[in-house]
Amino acid sequence: MAQGQRYFWITNTQQLGELQRRLHAAGGPQLRDNLNRRIRRAAEPIHRALQNKARNLRIWGPGSKEGRSRPKTDGPPLRATIAESIRLSVTSSGGARLWSDPGRLPPGWRSMPKNTNDGRWRHPTFGNKHRGGWVNQYAERDWWWRTIRPHMPRLRADVARILEDVKRRLGG
């Protein structure tokens, strides 16, 4: 989620582009579906790890002990809502995309995955914008990327192996 992005691409464009051309030339929707299924399976541990991290994210603010949220007064739980918004899709070019789907977040919460990743956001006390003032709330900074990074070597190796298998099936 660096610099306002809410998604993450896993691609090697040169290899994937050549592979897509060959899959298309071979007329292989079955090969393409197999490639996409295997890439999805390789990326699912990161998807689960991001959802688990969001569900267990340390959030704190005024009047709370670090690591525990203040009791909610209304609305859905923040951590669970962010976790449920995290999506995984496989692109037509054979890459995987992880992102927070704003359509799965309540109105007014579209920026919450980015705000929690940035580590700080402001909101009105008890939802009252006019009385009671505004407060700062804090969360573990850069939790999105810190969760993804440890998985990257395994994911790169898995995708390289998948690409080699498909290339071998195409005769190249």
The pLDDT tens digits for 117-163 are: 999 998 887 766 676 688 889 999 999 999 999 999 998 899 888 87
Please give the tally of structural domains in the chain.
1
Reply yes or no on whether the pLDDT at 94 is more than 80.
no
pTM of the model: 0.77
- One-letter identity of residue 157: A
Those residues with Cβ within 8 angstroms of residue 22's Cβ, 6 or more apart along the chain or in another chain: 167, 170, 172
Reply yes or no on whether the pLDDT at 17 is more than 60.
yes
Q: Are 91 and 12 in contact (CB under 8 A)?
A: no
Share of the chain above pLDDT 70, in %: 71
Whole-number Å distance between alpha carbons of 60 and 68: 6
Q: Give the chain's mean pLDDT.
A: 80
Domain boundaries, position 143: 2-170
Reply yes or no on whether the pLDDT at 71 is more than 60.
no
Work out whether strand 120-124 and strand 134-139 pair parallel, antiparallel, or are unpaired.
antiparallel
Query: Where is pLDDT greater, at 1 or 119?
Result: 119
Q: Are 84 and 76 in contact (CB under 8 A)?
A: no
Backbone angles phi, psi at 100, to 5 degrees: -95, 115
Reply yes or no on whether the pLDDT at 7 is more than 70.
no
Q: Are 9 and 95 in contact (CB under 8 A)?
A: yes
Least confident of 10-19, 70-79, 95-104: 10-19
Q: What is the 3-state secondary structure (H, E, C) of 2-52?
A: HHHCCEEEECCHHHHHHHHHHHHHHCCHHHHHHHHHHHHHHHHHHHHHHHH
Crossing angle between the packed helical segments 13-26 and 152-170, to the nearest 10 degrees: 30
Q: Are 168 and 144 in contact (CB under 8 A)?
A: no
